[in-house]
Amino acid sequence: MINLQISDVSNTTSRRLFSYLKPYKIGFVCAMLGMVGYALVDVGFISMLQPFIDEGIEGKDTEFLKYAPLFIIVMFLFRGASHFIATYCLSWVGANIVKDLRQELFEHLMRLPVSFHDQNSTGDLISKVTYSTEQLKQATSKALIVLIREGAFVIGLLALMFWNSWQLSLIFLVIAPLIAVIVGFVSKRFRKISNNIQTAMGLVTTCSEQMLNGHKVILSFGGQKVEKSRFAEVNNMTRQQDVKLESAKAMSTGVVQLIASFALAFVIYMASQPAMLDSLTAGTFTLIASSMVMLLRPLKQLTTVNGDFQRGMAAAKSIFEILDQLPEQDTGTRELKRISGHIRFDHVDFSYPGHEDKQVLQDISFEVLPGQTVALVGRSGSGKTTISSLLPRFYEIEKGRILLDDSSIKNFTLASLRQQMAIVSQHVTLFNDTIANNIMYGLDEPVSDAHLLDVAEKAHVMEFARQMQDGLNTIIGENGVSLSGGQRQRIAIARALLRQAPILILDEATSALDTESERKIQGALDELLKGRTNIVIAHRLSTIENADQILVMDQGRIIERGDHASLLAQDGAYAQLYKMQFGQKPV
């Protein structure tokens, strides 16, 4: 019966999960021994019923009875020790496996390409790291305890019964297959419900995360009702599945116990037959009857263990699905040393993975010489940010080439390629750390205080850091919630300044600054641009007038190119844009 259950679910997932057990084999074996020991003590107890009644009570053997109390205490000592060993070892193994899986998952998520993260919700992924791994441990260790401990108990009880009266025990040959069929049937249902629970849990976290991230928007747009009902729906979904699982469990338990009760009734009926009655002692009868009653508990647990096991397997499967996602293809072999910064896009076509029907970039060709600045302008959605994220290979292009110092960027290792660039974008990501550490983020070598201070001064970070209690050592909270958009961008600019990368990408880096502070840090930006190759995307044309080359983008194409003066002279799209921004002012 037990073997049948295992083979039913021994798919690739459980085999793969098993491989995580390998380093902790010893602990697992100890846990198994403890569990089997525990079961054996229980069987031992019941086996003593027969001599206790027949020899002790019926035979009035006081010598035998004298040892009974001692026997009880010794057995319980052994039972307690077994229980402790089993529990300790199993939780040691389980906790280690969860730790390993979590770490692997975390590292793998970090290695996955940007396109994967574009297409998967953060909440769902977080629930994999936190909930699914925990679920896996809980479910599988519970399943293991039942399978091994209760399994051994059942086998021991059956052996005991056959040993004492094989005639009465024959009934088990009939009911065992029956029970096996039922268990097989319910386990299919368990599996389906378990998968639904995983999905529902992912939705719950996604929904919560959305609410927490968008809290302000919800408040200001009065979205409470929508969010409330959205959450109520997914919340209710988990409840439904939970209840379904529990009811499937209870139903199958009831049926299995009913079948077992037939066996019990049959045994008592048989025992009452005159032929049987002669050969049965009171002790043997008590032993068989109590064994059968004792069987009910493990039978119930063994029937429902599949529910737990399937829940664990569903969790494991969802974790493995992520681990099976291909990480970023880092096939380049050349380590980039410091480059001169010659960038060339050569007939590049691109569409985002998963959105292949929509071509975002079409036939993009341009060249930036070392030390030059190219500016991208155009309506929002025209593909400017996309161009800037192709250079660090956040996405792979389908057609054309991108060359850096006359070599395709595919030839370089990702790490060394990205080291050549500093990116300041519209959405600044800050870590829950001090301002200083946020500025120095990702640097291999420590920076001297004087240098850091100099950079912070240039980026006008000191202007607001000075007013804070701990200056640059002020902790700024998760994603810098305590800072204004402009302050955040100044930190990002300082970060880029410190990096000394030969290529600089500014993607609307000053969009969160008002004109006043933008003018102030224009100095910092000029400093930043000096001596590098720059790609500048700006919403304010005034910041790009000095660019060596301006590319005007529209719907994924470059429709005009040239410097400020020649583009104005052309009187095309650029001139239009320019007039729109400075319509009021005399040009």
Residues that bind Mg ion (CB under 5 A): 385
Q: Which member of 165, 284, 382, 510 binds ligand ADP (CB under 6 A)?
A: 382
- Which residue number, 80 or 381, has a Cβ lying nearer to ligand ADP? 381
Least distance in angstroms from the C-beta of 493 to Mg ion: 17
Stretch that binds ligand ADP, among 99-107, 126-134, 375-383, 539-547 (CB under 6 A): 375-383
Q: Is 360 in the site for ligand ADP (CB under 6 A)?
A: yes
In angstroms, rounded to a whole number, what is the distance separating the alpha carbons of residues 41 and 149? 11
**Beta carbons of 310 and 194 less than 8 angstroms apart:** yes
Q: Is 383 in the site for ligand ADP (CB under 6 A)?
A: yes
Cβ atoms within 10 Å of 200's Cβ, excluding its own: 18
Least distance in angstroms from the C-beta of 385 to Mg ion: 3
Least distance in angstroms from the C-beta of 376 to Mg ion: 9
- Which residue number, 305 or 550, has a Cβ lying nearer to ligand ADP? 550
The whole-angstrom distance between residue 7's C-alpha and the CA centroid of its chain comes to 28
Q: Is 517 in the site for ligand ADP (CB under 6 A)?
A: no
Q: Which does 86 bind (CB under 5 to 8 A by kind): ligand ADP, Mg ion, none?
A: none
Q: Which member of 118, 398, 449, 526 binds ligand ADP (CB under 6 A)?
A: 118
Stretch that binds ligand ADP, among 42-50, 281-289, 366-374, 381-389 (CB under 6 A): 381-389
Q: Which does 143 bind (CB under 5 to 8 A by kind): ligand ADP, Mg ion, none?
A: none
Q: Is 477 in the site for ligand ADP (CB under 6 A)?
A: no
In angstroms, rounded to a whole number, what is the distance separating the alpha carbons of residues 209 and 214? 8
**What residues contact 525, with CB distance under 8 A and at least 6 apart?**
493, 506, 509, 510, 543
Q: In what side-by-side order are the strands of the sheet with 407-408?
A: 361-368, 343-350, 399-404, 407-408
**Beta carbons of 517 and 460 less than 8 angstroms apart:** yes
Least distance in angstroms from the C-beta of 16 to Mg ion: 41
Stretch that binds ligand ADP, among 130-138, 331-339, 383-391, 436-444 (CB under 6 A): 383-391
Looking at the DSSP assignment, which residues form a beta bridge with residue 475?
A: 434
**Beta carbons of 145 and 36 less than 8 angstroms apart:** no
Task: Give the DSSP per-residue string, 458-513.
Answer: HTT-HHHHTTSTTGGG-B--GGGTTS-HHHHHHHHHHHHHHHT-SEEEEESTTTTS
- Which residue number, 151 or 383, has a Cβ lying nearer to ligand ADP? 383
Burial class (CB in 10 A: 0-12, 13-18, 19+), 447: middle
- Which residue number, 62 or 380, has a Cβ lying nearer to ligand ADP? 380
Q: Which member of 50, 194, 310, 385 binds ligand ADP (CB under 6 A)?
A: 385
Q: Which member of 117, 188, 228, 355 binds ligand ADP (CB under 6 A)?
A: 355
- Which residue number, 231 or 394, has a Cβ lying nearer to ligand ADP? 394
Q: Is 127 in the site for ligand ADP (CB under 6 A)?
A: no
**Beta carbons of 303 and 183 less than 8 angstroms apart:** yes
**Beta carbons of 519 and 357 less than 8 angstroms apart:** no
**Beta carbons of 439 and 409 less than 8 angstroms apart:** no
In angstroms, rounded to a whole number, what is the distance separating the alpha carbons of residues 271 and 259? 19
In angstroms, rounded to a whole number, what is the distance separating the alpha carbons of residues 347 and 367? 11
Q: Which does 386 bind (CB under 5 to 8 A by kind): ligand ADP, Mg ion, none?
A: ligand ADP
In angstroms, rounded to a whole number, what is the distance separating the alpha carbons of residues 539 and 266? 87
Count of residues touching ligand ADP (by CB under 6 A): 12
- Which residue number, 378 or 486, has a Cβ lying nearer to ligand ADP? 378
Q: Which does 382 bind (CB under 5 to 8 A by kind): ligand ADP, Mg ion, none?
A: ligand ADP
Q: Which member of 5, 82, 164, 386 binds ligand ADP (CB under 6 A)?
A: 386
Task: Provide the binding-site residues for ligand ADP, judged by CB under 6 A.
Answer: 118, 352, 355, 360, 378, 380-386
